[in-house]
Structure 1
Amino acid sequence: MGNTKHLERVSKRLGALHPSATLAVDAKAKALRAAGRPVIGFAAGEPNFPTPDFITEAAAAAAKDPRNHKYTPASGLPELKEAIAAKTLRDSGVRIDPSCVIVTNGGKQAVFQAFAAIISDGDEVILPAPYWTTYPEAIRLCAGVPVPVFAGGQQGYKVSTQQLDAALTERTKALLLCSPANPTGAVYCAEEIRRIGQWALRNGIWVITDEIYEHFVYGCDRSYILREVPQLADRTIAVNGVAKTYAMTGWRVGWMYGPQDVITQAANFQSHITSNVSNVSQRAALAALGDGTATAERMRGIFNRRRIKITEMLRGVNGFAVTEPKGAFYIFPDVSRLLGKNIPMPDGSVRTARSSAELAALILDAALVATVPGEAFGAPGYLRFSYALSDEDLAEGAERLQRLFARAEV
């Protein structure tokens, strides 16, 4: 045998990946809860509602239908792709051909395939920060280079075209746009979307737009980049799915659409890595889309009530600086004033957190409240709270924080 000592057991690309911080925190909270600890979990990024009965009933019927027991087209059931095209026209006013749609195993696969479709070695992707944890990892997996552009609470967590200009280089290939945004709840208005779209058009930049939270917007209108700048259609890939809108995170149905040549290659890629999405899940998604936005509207009303409540309560936490979210179901307070300060503990001791990661660990230990540190989102000094939990847990969790930090030196 030849000398193989230099060969690594794990590839450099996979070895460099970080696990999903949001899923890790949620798993720890669930483990503590299973052990009998009264943990309040603000970490999970999913609606706390069951999938509606009409969707699960459609899935049950689909499971008994022999048509769904075999392979189907890798890019998705034709009738589901047609429904996605119809839904896109209804909700955004953007007309797409069903042949330009790929049904994916959740929104995450759509995000990864979007980057894989257009990014070559060394290409740069401008990534507004705070960002969802998966974006930079997916870019690196495609041998691209994420270029974070930070916008804090004083900007409403929204980047300006001046900041984009400063990040632009000859290697810039794409811009990632997520509105409403995870983790901040920021929403770009139509004028802001239009300015960014025109900037991308002028500079020949691709746009990957993540629209997964489109139906959870409060007090402002939702906007779509292809509606505002339709000339970008040849350089835009949109990703979406049923996970948030229909409380179907576990069903794993997302989609992407874009220019025909790119979609064709992305479909070829999918044919090799996953083949088709589960047919039962696709039939469930077809039933969901047939409901229009009724399910989302019911959830939106509940989320809006919780959004108002958590904003009010977190503003009552000593050391928290809170920007009101306008979309999704997250709030992203600045906790930098608490870092490095003495924090009296319930047991009489005093502890200090030097980072928001340490602060999140302290909160879980001392108050049994699970939140995700800003480091996971490219934003040290912040914490993400999801308000997709019951009204009772939301109030109890916020009250625990108020008690914990009441005597902190800030």
Structure 2
Amino acid sequence: MASGMPENLEIDPALFGLYKELHAHPELGFQEQRTAALVAERLTELDFDVTTGVGRTGVVGVLSNGPGPTVLLRADMDGLPVREDTGLDYASTETATDEEGRTVPISHACGHDMHTTRLIGAAGVLTRSQDSWAGTLVVVFQPAEELGAGAQAMVDDGLFDRFPVPDVVLGQHVAPLPAGKIAGHAGPAYAASDSLRVRLVGRGAHGSMPQNAIDPVVMAADTVMRLQTIVSREISGTDVAVLTVGSLHAGDAANVIPREAELQLNLRTYDPAVRDHILGSIERIVRGAATTAGAPEPPSITEIERFPVVVNDPAALDKTFGAFREWLGDDNVFDPGAGAGSEDVGVLATSAGAPLSYWLLGCANPALFTTGDMTDPALRSVPSNHSPHFAPDLEATLPVGVRALAVAARTWFARA
């Protein structure tokens, strides 16, 4: 075992019960009242200076342990509007009211319950080993990551004015890799994401009299097809972007031409110049389709959510991963390349002016894999984040995740 992890400290067995409690009772972004209360209670028991309600429902704990670096460990807390279908005896059956007033099923289909539990566990490990490190530990339990708004909400609420400014930001995210594997990519690691709602307005009519209509369905179809040419024809083959139309809704009857249509789009990019170009092209194509159709009013394009590119500081990631390799061995730590998923953890690092070291932690049954890396065919069949079947292997994942955060933090603290 590496020197980064004290050999005489065990994982608190109560963490397994806490995980099941959080898993069974997920909450949507900015609604994490129950989760935040549990977090605050556990941190108080560990003698942290605890503040709740940061960025609406966020929780911050501070543990001062003499002079030394300030290390920020971050976990997100929110669930997703996904009906769980894992068959677990502690599966979520909860519902909630979303931002549009709809009642939706919710679950921890992205693993934020595991993130929260592991950070509480790491806080306990570090508390019990204060004689071996020096500095200030800041633990941030962030709301609304799935909305792309929680990190910014905490910053806007004075996160780095009210609490110590970190020298490094550390965090991890569960992924459908073998439990016990850690993966991270230096530089732009996770994509920027822009989700947009497009409203196209036409003129409704009876389906038998299209000459009296300006058909928004045709406008929408034209828009969808033209949008697909942006990535294939407007950006270089060496640039990376994904543009998806995930929702198209217009009308409710077969024989009625509706008045309007709505599209929801998602764009993933790594390069700000590519992003700006594509967003400009989206607006050009949407407005062009409406103009060509003779639409009676201009279309509207509204931002739903936005995530910036997550950029891992190469030196910071190398330092953290050096400790992981010493602890787990070279075979269990690797570079997965840049991922198309998105995260708002980078907002914390950028706002603090601190380097970011953020990594993926495998959470699936290792027996399902052969190579255990990004070439493994099991990645096509193992349930991924946001799937109704997503369920981390609790016994194999939780202890490694707790220790990974503790090892990473101790790597950055001064030795006592």
Larger radius of gyration: 2
Greater RCO structure (CA 8 Å; 6+ sep) = 2
Q: What's the TM-score, normalizing by structure 2?
A: 0.27
Higher helix share goes to which structure? 1
